[in-house]
Structure formats: structure tokens, C-alpha cells
């Protein structure tokens, strides 16, 4: 079932797009990541021009994360206060990231920077999460019931001023590290063309010390708004959002996200984190191979005249 | 006697004179193309999955079919030109990165050459250069500063990549010529077409010389929903963006509500 995409100007199989959306939606519901780091490379692979893949990916992330948020709101696993503060930082960071991205593309080599960013961040985060969750699983297996996370350790983060009470997370910490996490994720998200959930989730767990159950809902909440902002920026500044492509991805995505959320409620937090860590490491490995192995085709075509 | 001899000697010159003396009204070629297209516009709808255009015609002549010299027909179909950049990767510090690049000012987005016999047998280089028929010559103007010493591998790569994605084609023998008079070429248009005016050219060759040409435009355009979305995205990007977000949010909510219903029968 071929369908012609009006903005991308290519014809693709509609069922393939729905399937792709479904897989990414499943990840989204399961792990609380937007799935941008998966959908964008997958769209390149089926022949969608990169700029359109990035912008339309953001649009699809809005739908799947919104659907996920609604499910989490029902389960009361969203810390709205934390979400708004993170979003505040995120919008500032995202705007700065877009500026940085434009600067990098004037210098050339923006592709390389993006690819290196992916490899470095996915590698670091994946390895960290895998190590931590394996250790937690091991501990749980040896001493019976799972020990609660060491949430009330008082590190350097807890000494900062401007303290706020985040009741849903059971935290009383300074707003500054929360804003900084939001901003850092916003910058990286804009450069890498993703929502940033795969960075946000571990940052919330390991830097802010939030409980895993609240982390996913809150991350989805802030990703919904951040990727809506990114979509709008792309639509206005470069006309690269293909709504036809987005609708097909969304149809698969929202369905996948719902299944993922209900599946996630049945799995243990440590198992979820191991799965996410393996997924992140897998994508990282694939991208690293692309950098280190000799490509089949050394030449590539980019539309337009580069500066 | 003398007058007759003089006339005989001058006859070829005199006969040749009208063509030289009156260049404003050139003599029509002895053989002319009369051609038609199965359609002169292609509509891109949502279910557009490529199209086929039949380019057909006849060779009109006042005289007998000249014997000996072979007759050939070349048909080309060319999409709107686009500017693009070809980049080349090299290994630096262990990783493969883009190092060189060549900008091409105008390369056709789509190009097909169909012929009666293998192109290199029927088209001499001089005629190819004059009419820009073969694929390498269909690409025009290089633009921007040349950062590399040799651009040839880049243009070769461009042609190779475009051929691989079916955007450039050389179909030797795809034009059928019957009785040196009737010809027909079926040109398949791929699904990944760009909107714009495409141009068809037909060349009639006798003994390696182009003796007549014919041109006709084909308009390729988006229609219906495709057109509406495309215009909206370009002319009202903010409204288009809001609409895209509204669809996303509605779909997200719809799926959530639908699953609640499924869970609670």
C-alpha cells in the first residue's frame, strides 16, 4: 500500500510506516523515552530525507508521549511540579541548541558532530544504566526483597539554595539542578534531533534521585511539551514537517505506547532499566560501527549548495 | 556550347545558393518528427505510485526513404533541475568523515534517455555536446568554490547514486522503430517524483547526425489533499504546525481513551 508524502516528495509503504511507529511507541510507553533516537535513524533508512525525518519524528513523539502521559496521569505517576520546572529549563536549552546547531552547520561537519554526540551519550548512559541495574538486580536476588533506592542521601545537590518541595517524588531539593538538567537535555535534544528522554530518565534517577515509577510519567510529560515546541520551530523555520508521514507513524505509535505502558506496569523497574540500557547500547553500537567501518558508498548527495 | 558547359559547371553552386542566401527561412529537413504524448500532465495524488508515459510519433517525409544510412530515434525526459552537493568520505583519525565536496548548480531531478540502439553507437560526441543528450552532459553548471582537484569522481558518483535510485536511466533499445517511420517509447516515471515542468525531447538521427528535434512539456503537479497540505506548509507554516500538533494530541488522547474502553468492558 504505497502512499505519496506531500512534503518529503517520496512514495513509501504505509504499512511499513505504521509498523515503525508501533515499535517506537512500544519503547515510549515501556521506558518513558520519546523514541526520537530510534525513529529518526529508522526513517533515514527507508529513504526519508534527513531534515524531514528529524522534524516529523518530533511530531510523532508528541503523540506517543501524550498518550503515554495520559496513562501515567491515571496511575498518578506524574510529578507535575517537577515536570514544569524541567520544561522551563528545557525550552531555554532547546532554543540555545537550535542556535548552536545552526552555528555548527555553518562550520560544516554538523553530521559528524551529531553522530559523535549519539555515540558518546548513548554509550555512556547505556553503560551506566546497565551496570547500575545489574548490580541492583544482583542485590535484590541475594537479599530477598528489593531495597528502596537511596533517595535521601544528602549530596552536593541538596546544599543549593532555592529549595522546592516535589511531593510526588518525595523530594525537597533546590530548583537549580532541576533547571540545569532540563536545559542540558534541551540543548542535546535540539542538536541530536530527539526529545531527550534517554538522557532525561537516567539524569532524573541518578542526579536528582527521583523514584523510577514517577520518572517515566514525568519525563513523558516534559517531552510532550518540548517536542511540540521543536515541531513548531521546524515547521515555521524550515517547512520540514510532513503531516502525512506523521499521521501514519502516529497511528502505529499511539497504539504501541498504550501497549507499552500496560506492559511496563507488570515488569520490575530493574528489568525495565536493563532492557532500556541494552537498547541504548545497541543503537550506540550500530552508530559507532557506521563511523569506524568503511562505508559501502563513500559518496553522498545532499540537496542544495552547502556554504 | 560554351554557355552550356559553364552552366553545368556552376549548377551545383547555383542550386546550393538559395539556402546560403536566405538563412531566415531555412529549408525544412527532409525528414521531420511528428510526435505526441499519451498525457501532458501527471497528477500526484495520495496513492501516486509512479506513472507511465507513452511518447510516440511518426517520421514525415516528402521523398523516398533514403537507403543505406541508418535511422535512429533518441527520446529524453528530464525533470526540473536542482542544486545539490556531492560529498566524499575519507578516513581521518580512524573514523569516516566527509572531507571533500563538489557543488552542482543544476542537475536534473530525473533523467531518462531511451534510444533505438546503444547510445554510443548512434550518437557522436560532437552531436552529444551540442544537444546535451547523454546523462553526464545533462548535468550542467558547477557552482561554488571547487575544494577538490578532480571533480570527475564526484560527478561519476552522482550519476551512479542517481542510477541506483532509478532517477537516472539510459534505456538502450527502449525506442521501437517500425518501417523507419513509426516510433514509440514507454517511459516509466518513478514514485519519488518532484513537482514541476518536465521536458520531453525527441531527436531524429540519420547516419550519426541530428536532422530534426521535437520538444514538449509535461506538467507534474500535486493535486487534492497533497496540494492543499503542501501549500499550507509553505504559506501558513505556523497554522500548519499547530494543525500537526493538534492531530498528534488528538491521536494520543484517542488511543488512550480507546484502550480504557477496551480494558473496562
Alpha-carbon gap, residue B116 to B59, rounded angstroms: 14
Q: Do B98 and A228 touch (CB under 8 A)?
A: no
ipTM of the complex: 0.76
Q: How far is CA A212 from the centre of its chain?
A: 16
Residue A35 lies in a domain: yes
3-state class of B2 per DSSP?
A: helix
Q: Work out the burial of residue B163: count CB atoms within 10 Å of its CB; fewer than 13 is exposed, 13-18 middle, 19 or more buried.
A: middle
Has this prediction a pTM greater than 0.95? no
Q: Is residue B112 over pLDDT 90? A: yes
Q: How far is CA A283 from the centre of its chain?
A: 13
CA atoms within 13 A on the CB side of A127: 7
Residue A118 lies in a domain: yes
In chain A, count of helices (H) and strands (E)?
Answer: 10, 5
Q: In the prediction, which pLDDT does B20 show?
A: 44
Domain ranges across chain B: 29-222, 223-265
Q: Is residue A48 over pLDDT 70? A: yes
Greater model confidence, B27 or A169: A169
- pLDDT for A77-109, tens place per residue? 888 888 898 899 988 988 888 778 767 766 666
Greater model confidence, A86 or B263: A86
Chain B positions in Cβ-Cβ contact with residue A7 (cut-off 8 Å): 229-230, 233
- pLDDT for A247-268, tens place per residue? 888 888 878 877 887 887 787 7
Please give the backbone phi and psi of residue B6, each rounded to the nearest 5 degrees, phi first: -60, -45
CB B55 within 8 A of CB B37: yes
Q: In the prediction, which pLDDT does B75 show?
A: 92
Domain interval for residue A140 = 2-292
Q: Work out the burial of residue B24: count CB atoms within 10 Å of its CB; fewer than 13 is exposed, 13-18 middle, 19 or more buried.
A: exposed
Beta carbon pairs, A and B, within 8 Å: 195
B19 touches chain A (CB under 8 A): no
Quote the strand ranges of chain B, DSSP E: 31-37, 41-44, 51-61, 71-78, 81-92, 95-108, 111-115, 140-143, 168-171, 175-178, 182-189, 196-206, 209-222
Chain A positions in Cβ-Cβ contact with residue B191 (cut-off 8 Å): 2, 4, 10-11
Q: In the prediction, which pLDDT does B60 show?
A: 87
Alpha-carbon gap, residue B64 to B66, rounded angstroms: 6
Long-range contacts of the stretch A112-117 (C-beta < 8 A, 24+): A112/B95, A112/B97, A112/B98, A113/A191, A114/A191, A114/A192, A114/A193, A115/A287, A115/A290, A115/A291, A116/A291, A117/A188, A117/A191, A117/A192
- pLDDT for A283-304, tens place per residue? 888 888 888 888 777 888 877 6
Residue A307 lies in a domain: no
Q: Do A254 and B256 touch (CB under 8 A)?
A: yes
- pLDDT for B127-180, tens place per residue? 888 888 888 888 765 544 555 667 788 888 888 998 988 889 998 888 998 888
Q: Do B241 and A255 touch (CB under 8 A)?
A: no
- pLDDT for B82-98, tens place per residue? 888 888 888 888 888 87
Average pLDDT (B215-239) is 88
Q: Is residue B218 over pLDDT 70? A: yes
Helix (H) or strand (E) holding A202: helix A197-202
- pLDDT for A129-179, tens place per residue? 788 888 887 877 766 554 444 544 555 566 677 777 777 777 777 778 888
CA distances from A151 to A155, A172, B252, B261 (A): 10, 11, 33, 37
Alpha-carbon gap, residue A241 to A238, rounded angstroms: 8
Q: Among B222, B245, B251, whose Cβ lies nearest the Cβ of A231?
A: B245
Q: Do A304 and B50 touch (CB under 8 A)?
A: no
A 10 A CB-CB count for A25 gives: 34
CA distances from A254 to A22, A55, A158, A275, B180 (A): 7, 18, 38, 21, 62
- Which grid cell sits at B254? 484517542
Q: In the prediction, which pLDDT does A141 show?
A: 72
Total residues belonging to chain B: 265
- pLDDT for B236-261, tens place per residue? 889 998 999 999 889 888 877 887 77
SS (H, E, C) A142-187: HCCCCCCCCCCCCCHHHHCCCEEEECCCCEEEEHHHHHHHHHHHHH
Q: Which CATH number fits domain B29-222: 3.90.1300.10, 3.40.50.720, 3.40.630.30, 2.60.40.3880?
A: 2.60.40.3880
CA atoms within 13 A on the CB side of A259: 12
Q: In the prediction, which pLDDT does B202 show?
A: 92
Q: Do A7 and B90 touch (CB under 8 A)?
A: no
Q: Do B191 and A232 touch (CB under 8 A)?
A: no
CB B173 within 8 A of CB B117: yes
Q: In the prediction, which pLDDT does B12 show?
A: 45
CB B103 within 8 A of CB B144: yes
Alpha-carbon gap, residue B50 to B43, rounded angstroms: 10
Residue A304 lies in a domain: no
Residue A305 lies in a domain: no
Q: In the prediction, which pLDDT does A301 show?
A: 80
Q: Into how many domains does chain A fold?
A: 1
Among A192, A166, A168, A183, smallest CA distance to A61 is for A192
Tell me how close the Cα of A162 comes to any Cα of chain B, in angstroms.
34
Q: In the prediction, which pLDDT does A207 show?
A: 80
CA distances from B55 to A51, B189, B194 (A): 36, 13, 20
Average pLDDT (B58-68) is 81
Alpha-carbon gap, residue A61 to A66, rounded angstroms: 8
CB B157 within 8 A of CB B132: no
Considering only CA atoms, give the Rg of chain B.
27
Mean pLDDT of chain A: 79
Amino acid at each position: 500500500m504505497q502512499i505519496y508524502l506531500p512534503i518529503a516528495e517520496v512514495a513509501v509503504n504505509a504499512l511499513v510506516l505504521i509498523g515503525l511507529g508501533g515499535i517506537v511507541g512500544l519503547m515510549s510507553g515501556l521506558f518513558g523515552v520519546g523514541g526520537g533516537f530510534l525513529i529518526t535513524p529508522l526513517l533515514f533508512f527507508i529513504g526519508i530525507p534527513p531534515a524531514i525525518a528529524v522534524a516529523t519524528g518530533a511530531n510523532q513523539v508528541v503523540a506517543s508521549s501524550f498518550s503515554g502521559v495520559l496513562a501515567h496521569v491515571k496511575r498518578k505517576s506524574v510529578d507535575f511540579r517537577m515536570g514544569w520546572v524541567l520544561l522551563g529549563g528545557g525550552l531555554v536549552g532547546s532554543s540555545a541548541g537550535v542556535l548552536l546547531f545552526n552555528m555548527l552547520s555553518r562550520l560544516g561537519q554538523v553530521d559528524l558532530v551529531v553522530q559523535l554526540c549519539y555515540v558518546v551519550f548513548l554509550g555512556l548512559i547505556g553503560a551506566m544504566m546497565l551496570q547500575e541495574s545489574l548490580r541492583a538486580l544482583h542485590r535484590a536476588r541475594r537479599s530477598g526483597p528489593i531495597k528502596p533506592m537511596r533517595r535521601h542521601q544528602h549530596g552536593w545537590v541538596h546544599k543549593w539554595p532555592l529549595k522546592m518541595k516535589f511531593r510526588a517524588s518525595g523530594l525537597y531539593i533546590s530548583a537549580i539542578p532541576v533547571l540545569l538538567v532540563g536545559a542540558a537535555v534541551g540543548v542535546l535534544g535540539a542538536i541530536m534531533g530527539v526529545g531527550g528522554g534517554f538522557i532525561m530518565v537516567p539524569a532524573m534517577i541518578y542526579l536528582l534521585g527521583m523514584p523510577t515509577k514517577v520518572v517515566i510519567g514525568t519525563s513523558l510529560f516534559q517531552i510532550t511539551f518540548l517536542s511540540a515546541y521543536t515541531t513548531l520551530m521546524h515547521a515555521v523555520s524550515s517547512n520540514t514537517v510532513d503531516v502525512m508521514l506523521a499521521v501514519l507513524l502516529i497511528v502505529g505509535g499511539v497504539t504501541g505506547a498504550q501497549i507499552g505502558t500496560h506492559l511496563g506496569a507488570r515488569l520490575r523497574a530493574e528489568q525495565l532499566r536493563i532492557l532500556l540500557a541494552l537498547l541504548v547500547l545497541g543503537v550506540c553500537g550500530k552508530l559507532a560501527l557506521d563511523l569506524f567501518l568503511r562505508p559501502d558508498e563513500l559518496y553522498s548527495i545532499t540537496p542544495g549548495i552547502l556554504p | 556550347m560554351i554557355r552550356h558547359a559553364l552552366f553545368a559547371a556552376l549548377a551545383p553552386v547555383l542550386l546550393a545558393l538559395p539556402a546560403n542566401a536566405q538563412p531566415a527561412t531555412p529549408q525544412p529537413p527532409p525528414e521531420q518528427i511528428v510526435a505526441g504524448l499519451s498525457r501532458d500532465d501527471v497528477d500526484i495524488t495520495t496513492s501516486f505510485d509512479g506513472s507511465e508515459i507513452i511518447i510516440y510519433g511518426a517520421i514525415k517525409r516528402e521523398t523516398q526513404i533514403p537507403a543505406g544510412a541508418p535511422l535512429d530515434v533518441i527520446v529524453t525526459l528530464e525533470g526540473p533541475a536542482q542544486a545539490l552537493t556531492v560529498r566524499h568520505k575519507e578516513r581521518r583519525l580512524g573514523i569516516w568523515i566527509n572531507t571533500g565536496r563538489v557543488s552542482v548548480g543544476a542537475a536534473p531531478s530525473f533523467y531518462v534517455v531511451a534510444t533505438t540502439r546503444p547510445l554510443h553507437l548512434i550518437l557522436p560526441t560532437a552531436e552529444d555536446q551540442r544537444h546535451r543528450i547523454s546523462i553526464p552532459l545533462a548535468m550542467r553548471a558547477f557552482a561554488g568554490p571547487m575544494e577538490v582537484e578532480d571533480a570527475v569522481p564526484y560527478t561519476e558518483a552522482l550519476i551512479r547514486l542517481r542510477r541506483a535510485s532509478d532517477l537516472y536511466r539510459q534505456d538502450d533499445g527502449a525506442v521501437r522503430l517500425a518501417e523507419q517511420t513509426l516510433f514509440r517509447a514507454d517511459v516509466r516515471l518513478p514514485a519519488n517524483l518532484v513537482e514541476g515542468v518536465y521536458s520531453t525531447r525527441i531527436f531524429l538521427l540519420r547516419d550519426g547526425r541530428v536532422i530534426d528535434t521535437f520538444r514538449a512539456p509535461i506538467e507534474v503537479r500535486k493535486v487534492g489533499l497533497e496540494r492543499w497540505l503542501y501549500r499550507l506548509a509553505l504559506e501558513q507554516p505556523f497554522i500548519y504546525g499547530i494543525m500537526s500538533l493538534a492531530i498528534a494530541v488528538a491521536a494520543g488522547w484517542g488511543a488512550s481513551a480507546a484502550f480504557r474502553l477496551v480494558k473496562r468492558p
